[in-house]
A = this chain, B = another copy of it.
Amino acid sequence: MRLQLFVQSVRMHNSVMKDKTIPEKRDSDTKERLLKAAKNEFLEKGYQDASLRSICKSAGVTTGALYFFFKDKDDLFESLVRDVSEGLLSMLKEHFAGERKAFEEMKKSGKLPPRTEMADDVFAGKKIFHYLYSHYDEVNLLLKKSKGSLYENFTDQVVAITEKQNSLALGKYGKALVHWVSHMQINSFVHILTHVKSEKQASELLPYVMAYLQKGFFGLVDWDKK
């Protein structure tokens, strides 16, 4: 069995992000400048403390311009993170769907997964990290700077999805534990992402983290067998 983590088909989801081409006017980069300034401000202060005034100022535009391109503060934030958010969520869902299929088959055949090698999981982890680090800022906004915005529950959503998956193997231990495990798994990634700046360093850290999480996880799965 594999660790419950989002992965797979990064290429697919990249396509979701590709449509950044603005079809309208070409000679104006105002929107771009606004988005850039907004990203910096949101990253620096978080959604709530970010000031539209200040964003406009550092973009060299007036507030009216901002409101031409964006409905309101929430829309501005959403414009920065929507694609990555959607990409991440659907990526995750598909991955888990695949895992569920494998789990079903496993159950049917009665064979346990080979747990001695965790190479697969680490590999998967590296793949997803690559995706996350490729959209470092946006992911950061989603995970750590979204309080007060429409996305303030993003992490909860991710946890919820993970929870569904984990309840397959750990359901018998009750919802609270499943929730806790899921939270820990997701949080592990979030923490690394927000504390380890380079993908390379994150990659080096990953095997240890994976080992930790797997030991814990299988400790629960095998609880009644000891």
A16 contacts the other chain (CB 8 A)? no
Q: Which residues of B contact A214 (CB under 8 A)?
A: 219
A183 contacts the other chain (CB 8 A)? yes
Q: Give the number of residues in A that approach B within 8 Å (Cβ atoms).
A: 33
Closest to A201 in B: B176
Give chain A's interface secondary structure class.
helix
A195 with B212: CB separation less than 8 A: no
Contact flags A148-191 to B (C-beta < 8 A → 1, else 0): 00000000000000000000000001101101110110011001
Shortest distance from the beta carbon of A118 to any chain B beta carbon, whole Å: 11
Name A residues whose Cβ lies closer than 8 Å to a Cβ of B.
Answer: 48-49, 147, 173-174, 176-177, 179-181, 183-184, 187-188, 191-192, 195-196, 201, 205, 208-209, 211-220, 223
